[in-house]
Structure 1
Amino acid sequence: MWGTPSQHSKRVFRCPQHVLYTRVLPYHWLRFAKGQGAPRGFATLSFMESTLAGWRLDLLGPGRLVAASTQVMPVAAKALVVLAYLALEGATSRTRLADLLWPEVAEVTARNNLVQLLRRTRQQLGVELVQGSDPVALSPALTVDTRTLSELYLLGGYDEAVIQAGPLLQSLEVQPGSDLAGWLQAQRERLDEQRLAVLRREAVRLENAGDYATAARLADLHVHLDPVSEEAYRRLMRLRYLQGDRDGALQAFASCQATLARELQTEPLPETLALAAEVAQGGHVPQVPPRAAQGRSFARSARLVGREEVWTQLEAAWQAGKLILISGPPGIGKSRLAQDFAMTKGRVVRVEARPGDAGTPFATNTRLARAHLAAQPDVHLPDWVRETLARYLPELRGAVPPAPVRSPEERQVVFDAQFELVRCTSSELAAIVVDDLQYFDHASLALGNALISRAFPFHGGSGIPPHVAVYRSGELAAEQAEVLDGLVRAGLAMHVEVGPLTVEAVEAMLQDIGVPGAARLAPRLARFTGGNPQLIQETLQHLLELGAVHDPPEHLPLPPGVQEVLRRRLGRLSPGALQVVRAAAVLQSDFTTELIAEMLGAPLFDTIHAWEELERAQVLQGTQFTHDLMLEAVRASIPEGVYRLLCRSAARLLERRDGRPSRIARLWKEGGDSRAAMHWFMRAGAEAAANFLLREAAGFYAQAAEAAEAGGRTPLDAAPPGAPLLSRAVDS
C-alpha cells in the first residue's frame, strides 16, 4: 500500500531539477523521491524527465506554461487553475478540484468536466502535466516559480525576476465571493509576504554592506509592493538621506503621509515623524536603527480603582464559602478584579474557557485538569483516577485504553475522579479562577456544577479551594444561566455585577498610569468610553500612537466604538503578522507558534518574529488574544473566502495532530466542506456516545445530518446505527 492522502510526512528534498519542495507530501511521494519506485498510476520520474525536461510553469504574474524550446504554450484558464492548485497544495482529490472549478453543478457533472479538461490539456500539449488517478498531482519534473520563491524565502538568496514577477495569476478573473476567489486571495497574500520578506532581507544586507543605492532601489520596490508599510518608507527615507538626497527622503515621507491618510485615514507613527524631523533639520540618522517599538503603551494601573463596593461583596461571599460569580460587559475589568481579589488570598490557579470549547465535550475541564497537574506535577493520583480521567487526558493513559462510559453510574465515577484530582492537587492553592464561563461546554458545566455542590461550603474541609467564575453579561446560553441561577437560589453561590467606572475613578486611573492632564481628560474619556476600562486603555493607546496624549484634540479622533481603533491597529501590522493573527483567530484557542507555523507553511523563526510584533502591538499576549474584542476585530477583518480557506487548513492540521473530532468538524463546516464536516461530526458523536454524553452525541449526529444534506446527501447517510434511539433517550 502506498498509503492514503491523509498519511503525510514533513520533508524537504530536491528533485533532479533542484526545485525545493517544502509542502507536506504524501508518504508514497517520499518513497518516490528516494528512488524506491513510483506510486501506482503515476509515470516514472525518468519518463517525465524525458518529456518535461526544461518545461517551466510561471504562476507569478499573468500565469503561463513555457516549453523547453522557450515557446509559451496555450493553456485554458481552468487548466491553469488546476496546475496552480496542485503546485501550491500538493496532491488533491478530483472531487475537490471539481468543486473548486464548477461549484454550481452536480458533483458527477463537475468531475466529468474535470476529466474532459485534463484530457484536452494533455492532447493539446502532448505532455503529462498532471499525474495519477485520484488524488492527482503535478508532475515533479516541472519547474515552478512559486517553489523558487519559497526556496529564496526559506534558504536565503535573491532573484530580481521572481520578486518583480507580480501577484499569483495576476490576470485571472474569478467569481467574487467564490471558494476559488478566497483560495486565490489567501495564496496571493502568502506569496506576497514571502516576496516582501525576501526583499526586506536583501535590502538590509545591502545597507549593512554600504551599498545604499541598490538598497534604496529595493526599498522603493518594497514601498511599491506594500504601500502602507511605514517600515519600508522609513528605510527608503533613511537610505536616500544617507546618499545625500535630502529632498528625495522628504519626498518619500510626503508620499507616506498621503498614502496613510488615503488608505487608513491615519497619521504616520511617531518614529516616522521623528525620522522626518531629523532629515529636515539635517541631523544624524543611524544606518540600521533598531526595530520600532510598535507596542509602546501606558502601564496598567498598579491598583484597582473604583471597585471598593464590589470588593466588599466579594469578601462577604468568600467568608460564606460560596462560589463567586462575577459578570459584566466586555472590557469592564471583570478578569482583573477576579484575579486581584483571589491573589490576596494566596496562590491561585487561573483557567480560561475559550471560543470553540462549547462544541467539544470536556474541553474546558481538560484545560482545568492540566492546570491543576501543572500546579503540582509530582502529585500521586490513585490508579482509578488516572484510568478514569484518561478518557480526556491522553497523557494519563496506560497500556490498556479506557473503557467507554455506558451508564449514569459510570459517568458519576468520572465526576468523582475529577473531584479527587482537584482535591489532590490543591493543598497549596488558595483559590481557583475560571474565566469566560460563557464559553463552557455542557459536559464541563455539568461536572463543575457537581463539584461545587459537593464541595460547599468551600471552607468546610472538603479540600477543594474556593472558586471564582467570570462571564460576560447577556452571553450565557439558557442552560448555563439556569445552572448558575440554581446555584444562587440554593445559597451555594453569590452573583456580583461589575459596572462602569465613575469620572472620579477614571481620573484616579489616569493619574496612576501617568497620563498628563488627568483631571481635564477624565470626564471626556469617561463619557466617550462609557467608563469601560478596556476602552479607556485602547483610546489612550491610540492617542499615544498619534502623539496626541499631551495635547488631545477637542474632539477625540476616534469613531464611535473601539472596533475602528482595533481595525487601525491591525492595519499597521506587517503582512506576515497579519497572516499569523488571522490563523490564530481561526484556531481561536490553544494555539502556539509551532501550530501556526505549520498551519501557514511558514518557517518557525518568521512566525516567532511576527508573534513578537503582535505582542508589541498588543494584539496577542502569550498564546492568547489580549482581549476578546481584539479576537472579534481580527475575525471581522478576514475576507470570507480567506476565512474558509484558513478553516480548511486548520482542519487538516488538527487531523494530522489527532485533534478533537468536534473541533475538526467545526472547522470543516466553517470551511465549507460539508462532506468532511459530516465525517468528523459522526466521529464526534461516536466519541461523545462512548463517554455517555448522550446529549452531545445526539447534537453531533444532528449536525452530521445537516452537513450531509448540505453536501447533497440524504440525512440517512449520516445516521449511525441506533441514532434515533439515542435521540429519543436524550429527549426523555
Structure 2
Amino acid sequence: MPHDASHTPAVSPAAAPGWRLRLLGRGELWGPNGPVRLERNQLVMLAYLVRGLPTTRPELAAMLWPSVPAATAGANLRQMLRRLRLACGGHELLQQLEWNGPVSLAPGLDVDLWHLRDAALGLKPAGDLLAHCGELLAGRVLDGELDATGWLDAMRVEAEGRVRRLCERELQRLQDAGELDAALGVAERWVRAEATSERAARALMGLHAALGNRSAALAVYEQLKRELCVQLEATPGPETAALAQRIRTRGAASVRPAEGAGAAAPLPAALLRPERLVGRGGEWRALEEAWAAGQAAFLAGAPGVGKSRLAVDFAASRGPCLRVGCQPGERPVAFASALRLLRQLRAERPGTRLPGWAGRILVQLARDAGGSAPTALATYEALAAAFRAATQGLQVLVVDGLEHCDDASLAFLEYLLGERPPPGAGEPVRLLACWTPGAGAAPVQALVARLGAQGQAREVRVGALSRAATLELLASLGHPGLGAAQAEALWRYAGGNPFLLLQALREQAREPEASPCAPARLQAHLQPRLAALGAELGSEGLHLLRELLESGGRSGAVAAGPVRALLAALAEEGLVGPEGLGHGALCQVVEAACAALPPRLPLLPAASDAPPRAAAPLRPARRAGKLQGARTQLAG
C-alpha cells in the first residue's frame, strides 16, 4: 500500500537546534522566537518519546487514543503532527528514518531531562539546572487511559532520584570548595523538593549550623518533625535527632557542614541481582519436565514475583539464549508485538539476513499496521522464516510481558509453535514466555489453555515466596545489620515478592532513614483495577478494601462481591497470601488511592443487629509507624 510522504516526519539532522523542551515543571516548548503553545496530547507525546524507547507511529497512536479504532487513532496522530509542525513554523521535532521504523525526537532538540541525567552522573556541570527543577509535568494529571501503564509515574520517580543525586553531588562539590552560602541554597531546594527526606534535612541543618545560625538549623528539624508526622506518621531517626541535640546543647561549632550529606555509596551487587535463586525448586522441576517433553513453557505470576529471573536462569542452563519483550500499547495494533520482537532480535544479532520474499511481505505488513489485521498464510510463513533466521544458533528465547501482546501476534505464536520446520532448518528455538494474569490477559490465558490441551505447552505458576524461602533469600544476601527481626519486618512488608523485598533494601541502603515505599511498578499494575473498583462501588469500595487488608480480613465489614473478587485475584497473584492479608507495600498503594477520596461513610455491620459503628478516620500511611522501628533497626 503506497504511503503519503507528508504523513512521515521529515528526516533532518539540523531540524531542532535552537528548540528547547522543558518537562521539569509545567511542560513548555521554546523555539528561536519564544514559547510555543502545545496541546495536551502533543506534550504527552514529546514526554513519552523522551524516554528513548523504540516507538512506532501505530504504538504512539494507540497510547494517545486507546479507546478508538486503530485507523481513527492513526488519522488523529497525523492531524496532530500536522498541527504541531504548523505551530513550530514548519520545523520538525520528530524524525523517522524508515516508514516502518521507530519515531524519535529530532537531533539537536534541547531537553532538560537529558541535562539532568548527565549532571546527576557527573558527565556535565549542573549550571543553573537545580534552580529550575520542579516536578516532572507538575500539576498535569493524565487520565487513566493515557497513563494506564504508569509510565509518567515511573518517569517522575526516576527524575526525583536524579534530582536527589545531583543535590548530593553539588553539595559535596560546593562544600569541598568552601562555598557554604551556595551549598545552603542547594540544600534548601532539596528540602523543598523532598520535605520528608532526613538526609536533605541533615544537610541543611549542618550548613545552617556551620554558618552560625543555630536557630535556623533547629527550625529545619522542627519542620521535618511536622512533615514526618503529617505525611508518614513517623518521627525523625536517631541520627537526625542526635544532630539536632548536638546543635541544641553544644552550639554550631560542634557540627561539620557536610555532616550527614555525603554522596550515596554504590549499591551492593547482591541487592541488584542476588547470586542464588531461592525457593523455586518446584517451578524449576516443572520447567525441566516441559523441556523433556519438548513443550514451550508459559510462566505466570504477579509483577516482581521473579518470573523473568527464573526463566533467564533456566534458559542459560540449557545453552545460548536471548531475552526480548512485548511492551504496553501494542495490543490495539495487529502484529505490533511480532514486529517489535523481530526488531529486538535483529538488533541483538545484527548479522541476521532475512529471505528476500519474507522481507517484502514484512515491509508491507509494517506499512499496513493499524489497518485490517492480515491473517493470510503467507504472512505467517514470512514471520516464521524471519524468526527462524533471527534465532539461528539459539537454544532458548525468553519473551517477557506477553500480556501486552496483540491478538494477531498471539495467533502467529500459536502457528509458530505448531509449525514443522522445513528440511535442513535445524532444531527450532525453544520458548519460555512470562506473563502477568489480570483483566487484560484473557487472550494469553486462552492461548495457554489451547496449547496445553494440544500438548504443545505447559503453564508454570510462579507464586510468592513462602516465609521460609523469603528469610532464606534475605540471609543469602549477606546484607549488614539484617537480623531476624528486620527480616521478619521485610517479610510483612513485601509478602514474599522478591522485587519488593530488594526494592525496600535498596531504598534503605541509599537512605537508611527512609521507610519503604511502594514502587511505581506495583502502582501501575494495581491502578487500573483500583480505578475500576472505585467506578463500580464508589469511594466506599476502596475504603472497604483498605480496611479488609489492614485487619487481615477480620474486620466486621461486609465485603461486596467486586471487593471479594479483587481480593481473590490478588491472592491468586501472590500479592496477598495465606500467612496474612495486607502486606505493607500493597496497603500503601490502596491507601494512596484512598487519600484523594472524600471521607468514608459508616460501614455496615457484619450480619448482626448491632448499630453501624463509626469507621476509623482515614490515615494515609498507617503502616509507616510500624515500619519505623524496623527501619531504625536496619539503619543501626
TM-score (norm 2): 0.52
Q: Kindly indicate whether residue 429 of structure 2 is the aligned counterpart of residue 465 of structure 1.
A: yes
Q: Kindly indicate whether residue 18 of structure 2 is the aligned counterpart of residue 12 of structure 1.
A: yes
- Residue 344 of structure 1 aligns to a residue whose secondary structure is helix
**Alignment-derived partner of residue 456 in structure 2:** 492
Q: Kindly indicate whether residue 260 of structure 2 is the aligned counterpart of residue 316 of structure 1.
A: no
Q: Is the 8 A contact 1:501 1:531 kept in 2?
A: yes
TM alignment of 1:274-293, pairs within 5 A: 282=254, 284-286=256-258, 290-293=262-265
| Cα distance per residue 1:410-441 (max 9 Å; x no partner) | x3222112211222222321100111211111
Cα distance between partner residues in 2 of 1:196 and 1:435: 31
| Larger relative contact order (Cα-Cα within 8 Å, sequence gap ≥ 6) | 2
Cα distance between partner residues in 1 of 2:260 and 2:489: 41
Classify 1:485/1:403 alpha carbon distance in 2 versus 1 (closer, same or farther; 3 Å): closer
**Alignment-derived partner of residue 454 in structure 1:** 419
Classify 1:292/1:253 alpha carbon distance in 2 versus 1 (closer, same or farther; 3 Å): farther
Q: Is the 8 A contact 1:459 1:465 kept in 2?
A: no
Please point out which of 384, 391, 404 is paired with 1:439. 404
Identity %: 28
Classify 1:539/1:379 alpha carbon distance in 2 versus 1 (closer, same or farther; 3 Å): closer
Classify 1:537/1:92 alpha carbon distance in 2 versus 1 (closer, same or farther; 3 Å): closer
Please point out which of 487, 492, 496 is paired with 1:531. 496
TM-score (norm 1): 0.46
Q: Is the 8 A contact 2:172 2:262 kept in 1?
A: no
Cα distance between partner residues in 2 of 1:506 and 1:479: 32
Please point out which of 326, 332, 342 is paired with 2:299. 326
- Residue 10 of structure 1 aligns to a residue whose secondary structure is coil
Q: Kindly indicate whether residue 378 of structure 2 is the aligned counterpart of residue 413 of structure 1.
A: yes
- Residue 390 of structure 1 aligns to a residue whose secondary structure is helix
Q: Report deviation, 1:239.
A: 2.3
Q: Is the 8 A contact 2:203 2:258 kept in 1?
A: no
Q: Is the 8 A contact 1:260 1:266 kept in 2?
A: yes
Q: Which one-letter code corresponds to 1:355 in the other structure? A: P
Q: Is the 8 A contact 1:158 1:202 kept in 2?
A: no
- Residue 372 of structure 1 aligns to a residue whose secondary structure is helix
Classify 1:177/1:500 alpha carbon distance in 2 versus 1 (closer, same or farther; 3 Å): closer
Classify 1:335/1:241 alpha carbon distance in 2 versus 1 (closer, same or farther; 3 Å): same
- Residue 467 of structure 1 aligns to a residue whose secondary structure is strand
Q: Is the 8 A contact 1:352 1:434 kept in 2?
A: yes
Classify 1:158/1:288 alpha carbon distance in 2 versus 1 (closer, same or farther; 3 Å): farther
**Alignment-derived partner of residue 331 in structure 2:** 358
Q: Is the 8 A contact 1:299 1:513 kept in 2?
A: no
TM alignment of 1:147-162, pairs within 5 A: none
Cα distance between partner residues in 2 of 1:201 and 1:520: 34
Q: Report deviation, 1:544.
A: 5.4
Larger radius of gyration: 1
Q: Is the 8 A contact 1:438 1:475 kept in 2?
A: no
Classify 1:258/1:417 alpha carbon distance in 2 versus 1 (closer, same or farther; 3 Å): same
Q: Which one-letter code corresponds to 2:263 in the other structure? A: R
Cα distance between partner residues in 2 of 1:211 and 1:448: 62
Q: Which one-letter code corresponds to 2:388 in the other structure? A: R
Larger CA deviation: 248-257 vs 357-366: 248-257
Q: Which one-letter code corresponds to 2:309 in the other structure? A: R
Q: Report deviation, 1:295.
A: 6.3
| Cα distance per residue 1:480-500 (max 9 Å; x no partner) | 322221111011111111233
Number of residue equivalences: 424
TM alignment of 1:338-353, pairs within 5 A: 338-353=311-326
**Alignment-derived partner of residue 479 in structure 1:** 443
- Residue 229 of structure 2 aligns to a residue whose secondary structure is helix
TM alignment of 1:114-133, pairs within 5 A: none
Q: Is the 8 A contact 2:221 2:244 kept in 1?
A: yes
Please point out which of 220, 241, 258 is paired with 2:226. 258
| Cα distance per residue 1:188-228 (max 9 Å; x no partner) | x9xx9999999999988875664434653675476467645
Please point out which of 358, 381, 386 is paired with 1:385. 358
- Residue 324 of structure 2 aligns to a residue whose secondary structure is strand
| Cα distance per residue 1:87-137 (max 9 Å; x no partner) | 7543779xx9xxxxxxxxxxxxxxxxxxxxxxxxxxxxxxxxxxxxx9899
Q: Report deviation, 1:342.
A: 0.8
Q: Is the 8 A contact 2:355 2:386 kept in 1?
A: no
Classify 1:462/1:211 alpha carbon distance in 2 versus 1 (closer, same or farther; 3 Å): closer
- Residue 23 of structure 1 aligns to a residue whose secondary structure is strand
**Alignment-derived partner of residue 474 in structure 2:** 510
TM alignment of 1:55-70, pairs within 5 A: none
Classify 1:477/1:273 alpha carbon distance in 2 versus 1 (closer, same or farther; 3 Å): same
Classify 1:290/1:333 alpha carbon distance in 2 versus 1 (closer, same or farther; 3 Å): same
Cα distance between partner residues in 1 of 2:229 and 2:195: 12
Q: Is the 8 A contact 2:470 2:496 kept in 1?
A: yes
TM alignment of 1:192-203, pairs within 5 A: none
Please point out which of 23, 35, 58 is paired with 2:29. 23
**Alignment-derived partner of residue 349 in structure 2:** 376
Q: Is the 8 A contact 1:347 1:428 kept in 2?
A: yes
| Cα distance per residue 1:502-527 (max 9 Å; x no partner) | 33322221210125565556566556
| Cα distance per residue 1:57-97 (max 9 Å; x no partner) | xxxxxxxxxxxxxxxxxxxxxxxxxxxxxx7543779xx9x
Cα distance between partner residues in 2 of 1:198 and 1:563: 21
Cα distance between partner residues in 2 of 1:222 and 1:159: 13
Q: Report deviation, 1:229.
A: 5.8
- Residue 449 of structure 2 aligns to a residue whose secondary structure is helix
TM alignment of 1:520-669, pairs within 5 A: 526=491, 529-541=494-506, 547=512, 562=518
- Residue 318 of structure 2 aligns to a residue whose secondary structure is coil
**Alignment-derived partner of residue 610 in structure 1:** none
Classify 1:253/1:460 alpha carbon distance in 2 versus 1 (closer, same or farther; 3 Å): farther
Q: Which one-letter code corresponds to 1:216 in the other structure? A: L
- Residue 366 of structure 1 aligns to a residue whose secondary structure is helix
Q: Report deviation, 1:236.
A: 2.4
Which runs of no fewer than 5 residues in structure 2 stay unpaired? 1-5, 21-27, 44-84, 90-111, 120-124, 144-152, 524-584, 597-636
Cα distance between partner residues in 2 of 1:245 and 1:357: 57
| Cα distance per residue 1:253-311 (max 9 Å; x no partner) | 34334323323445568986797688688365549965335967845431111211221
Cα distance between partner residues in 2 of 1:404 and 1:440: 14
Q: Kindly indicate whether residue 249 of structure 2 is the aligned counterpart of residue 302 of structure 1.
A: no
| Cα distance per residue 1:621-664 (max 9 Å; x no partner) | xxxxxxxx99x969x88x99xxxxxxxxxxxxxxxxxxxxxxxx
Q: Is the 8 A contact 2:312 2:398 kept in 1?
A: yes
Please tell me the root mean square deviation across aligned C-alpha atoms, in Å: 5.9
Q: Is the 8 A contact 1:323 1:493 kept in 2?
A: yes
Cα distance between partner residues in 1 of 2:87 and 2:369: 40
Q: Is the 8 A contact 2:325 2:401 kept in 1?
A: yes
Classify 1:253/1:485 alpha carbon distance in 2 versus 1 (closer, same or farther; 3 Å): same
Which runs of no fewer than 5 residues in structure 1 stay unpaired? 15-21, 34-86, 97-133, 139-148, 168-173, 179-185, 394-400, 550-556, 568-628, 641-732
Q: Is the 8 A contact 1:270 1:545 kept in 2?
A: no
Cα distance between partner residues in 1 of 2:142 and 2:403: 32
